[in-house]
């Protein structure tokens, strides 16, 4: 492959990476996505491609810079009436960048509202939505990010069985076997059943930290607490589900009416 062909491939890759970075950034800003798929990685790739492109064309850039700096520009004759001035690529580029800069500047300098909204819910939504209006939104200090997983380091831990590898009924089988029951079999839950229930509710299902239950922006603000009444091998009490450990951290005796837990047939 010749150097010119490689340069064209780099330019094409720069175009794709730049478009993806711009579109994903706009979507993240408009819809408030804290984690957009591969947005930052596309930015890194685009920056690396720019460096590669400059390295491939360094001789041309150096020659152009030397020629422009070493030779003063000639005085251009004003265009005659018969010659209509044509728009150059530089003019179009400057116009496009100016328009984009004006759009971004208008968004940053726009006011977040005059405070006359009577509905408290709407006012809270306007004041708390991501993005922030004005230059204060760019300089706002949100403070340190809280830990992604809540833990109770001083509470004793109870290891739960591994919930993975269990195969229940297929959807068609569950629909076919569905019956309305008025009486249930007595007996406590097993630790395996409790582990599978908690994993199906809030377990981590992906190496990137995604869980079984959806959450906007993959923030997962909900914590799972279990009031245990009858579970085999587990003392009654209030427990917190530690998703990272697959364990329950016991917090103490429940202060509410004990809940009867029974096994479904």
Tens of pLDDT along 91-120?
A: 667 677 777 776 666 655 554 445 455 678
Place of tokens 């979507």: 27
Domain spanning 157-252 has what CATH number? 3.40.109.10
CA separation (Å) from 28 to 1, 35, 97, 218?
A: 38, 8, 21, 13
Q: How many residues make up the chain in this entry? A: 265
Instruction: Give the pLDDT confidence of 204-236 residue by residue, as tens digits.
Output: 888 888 888 888 878 888 888 888 888 888 888
Tokens standing for residue 213: 């239950």
Q: Per DSSP, what are the bridge partners of residue 159?
A: 247
**Which range is least confidently modeled, 8-22, 26-40, 133-147, 243-257?**
243-257
**Which range is least confidently modeled, 50-59, 107-116, 168-177, 238-247?**
107-116
Question: 23-32, 111-120, 147-156: which has the highest mean pLDDT?
Answer: 147-156
Residue 172 pLDDT: 92
Q: Where are the alpha helices (DSSP H) in the chain?
A: 3-31, 39-56, 58-70, 89-109, 120-128, 135-139, 171-176, 191-202
What separation, in Å, do the N-terminal and C-terminal C-alpha atoms of the chain show? 68
In which band, very low, low, confident or very high, does the pLDDT at 176 lie, cut at 50, 70 and 90? very high
pLDDT exceeds 60 at position 69: yes
Between 232 and 148, where is the model more confident? Answer: 232
Where are the domains positioned within the chain? 1-70+122-135, 157-252
Q: What is the maximum span of the chain, computed from C-alpha positions, in angstroms? A: 99
At 22, which helix (H) or strand (E)? helix 3-31
In which band, very low, low, confident or very high, does the pLDDT at 256 lie, cut at 50, 70 and 90? very low
CA separation (Å) from 74 to 64, 68, 120, 146, 229?
A: 16, 11, 65, 61, 91
**CB–CB of 228/160 below 8 Å?**
no
């Amino acid at each position: 492959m010749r150097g010119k062909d490689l340069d064209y491939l780099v330019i094409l890759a720069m175009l794709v990476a730049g478009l993806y970075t711009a579109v994903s950034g706009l979507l993240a800003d408009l819809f408030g996505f804290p984690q957009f798929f591969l947005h930052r990685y596309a930015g890194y790739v685009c920056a690396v491609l720019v460096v590669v492109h400059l390295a491939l064309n360094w001789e041309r850039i150096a020659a152009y810079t030397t020629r422009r700096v070493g030779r003063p520009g000639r005085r251009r004759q004003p265009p005659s009436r018969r010659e209509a001035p044509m728009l150059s690529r530089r003019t179009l580029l400057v116009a496009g960048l100016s328009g984009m800069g004006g759009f971004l500047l208008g968004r940053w300098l726009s006011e977040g509202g005059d405070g006359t909204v009577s509905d408290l819910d709407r006012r809270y939504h306007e004041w708390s939505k991501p993005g922030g209006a004005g230059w204060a939104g760019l300089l706002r200090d949100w403070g340190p990010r809280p830990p992604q997983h809540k833990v109770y380091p001083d509470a004793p831990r109870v290891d739960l069985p591994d919930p993975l590898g269990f195969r229940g009924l297929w959807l068609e089988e569950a629909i076919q076997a569905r019956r309305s029951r008025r009486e249930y079999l007595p007996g406590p839950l097993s630790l395996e059943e409790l582990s599978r229930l908690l994993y199906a509710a809030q377990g981590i299902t992906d190496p990137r930290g995604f869980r079984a239950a959806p959450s906007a922006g993959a923030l997962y603000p909900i914590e799972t607490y279990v009031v245990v009444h009858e579970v085999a091998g587990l003392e009654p009490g209030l427990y917190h589900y530690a998703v990272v450990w697959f364990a329950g951290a016991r917090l103490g005796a429940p202060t509410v009416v004990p809940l009867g837990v029974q096994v479904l047939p």
